[in-house]
Homo-oligomer: A and B are copies of this chain.
Amino acid sequence: MASSIHDLARHLNISIGTVSRALNGRADVNADTRQRVLDAAKKLNYSPNQSGRSLRRGATHSIAFMLQPHPGDQEYGEPFFIPFLTGLQAKLAESGLDLIVVMGAPGDYQQERLRRVVETRRADAVVLAWTRREDERIDYLTQAGFPFATLGRSRSGGDAYPSLDLDFEKAGVDAVDRLVARGHRRIAAIRPSLDLNFGYLFLAGYRRALRRHGIEFDPELIADGFINEAGGYAVTPKVMRSKDPPTAIIFNNDAMALGGCKALAEAGIKPGHDIAVIVIVDTPLCRYFSPALTGFRPALEPMGERLAEMLLASIPAYAGAAGARIIREVWPLQLIARDSD
């Protein structure tokens, strides 16, 4: 079943060394024998054993993505990453690399899983998402000298690793600008409860824009919740109980918005009619919700592709002749105006 390089060599009556060289495109092998090897490999359905290759080369030729369920969320997950992963995987495949997704248990910060991947050398590099403001995963990886890249920024680790993020701060500003232009002064913000950096950045933009418009920041209009439907549902009533209730709400993601709108509906408040709603990260859910939610659309699949490029460029073994370099990018978030504000 499992045909090895020895089978191939025996079948062709040449040495395994030559077979290997032929397969790996080395120059010192006759064009003729190379062809014979290639043909035989196809015929015998040979493909190199990954463990053997990794062991010898000292590289696994695979990249790990650390996937983590919603913190605090036991029953549902994050569709956000799928198109990102599609792009990531497509680009990695171009360089002959495999993408493996490592599941973390909900709630933990992946530290243990991450250690496991690093210490058993299961991957040549890892990709992190949902970066926190201070991120121990980043500290660990930099300290261990293990290659990685992040989707999202962090204050940890300096500028020593590639990162690709969305401009959540600008989105916060734009959302407030748009609402103010439409006459709103009481604008609430619903954001994740943890120290996820994008929540922090969003709030920074929100506050900055408020200040610029001469609107006083009111802590009563800010609420933290789990980044899911339940979080939005639980937390939205809080801001509505303000002495001077908001006329607009900015939600930090689609699931929170869905839950929030549910809470509003139960209170007889109609989004897009009685109150304006904007979502920072737009998804198809926003588009097909009624009313269709105004939101900021990320280009997830291109982001995956780009981060793969950036990661490879940062690893000497994979970077081309150009030499390894660290790239960090922040991509704009484009507003899609719909019916909810």
Contact = CB atoms under 8 A, between A and B. Distances in A.
Interface stretch (A159-167, A214-222, A284-292): A284-292
Interface stretch (A19-27, A79-87, A149-157, A196-204): A79-87
Given A229-B285, A290-B265, A119 B47 contact: yes
Given A1-B144, A77-B82, A229 B121 contact: no
A244 interface: no
A206 interface: no
Contacts of A121: 2, 49-51
B45 A119 contact: yes
A171 interface: no
A193 B60 CA distance: 39
B120 A48 contact: yes
B85 A76 contact: no
A28 interface: no
Nearest to A70: B82
A283 interface: yes
A129 interface: no
A78 B263 CA distance: 25
A315 interface: no
Interface in A37-60: 45, 47-52, 54-55, 60
A223 to B, nearest CB: 17
A228 interface: yes
A5 B75 CA distance: 41
Contacts of A48: 120
Contacts of A102: 98-101
Contacts of A232: 288
A260 to B, nearest CB: 9
A319 interface: no
Interface in A288-339: 288-290, 292, 300-301
12 contacts: A47-B120, A69-B86, A74-B301, A77-B82, A77-B86, A90-B105, A98-B122, A100-B100, A228-B284, A229-B288, A258-B289, A285-B285
Interface of A: 1-2, 45, 47-52, 54-55, 60, 67, 69, 74-79, 81-83, 85-86, 88-90, 98-103, 105-106, 116, 119-122, 144-145, 228-230, 232-233, 255, 258-259, 261-262, 265, 283-285, 287-290, 292, 300-301
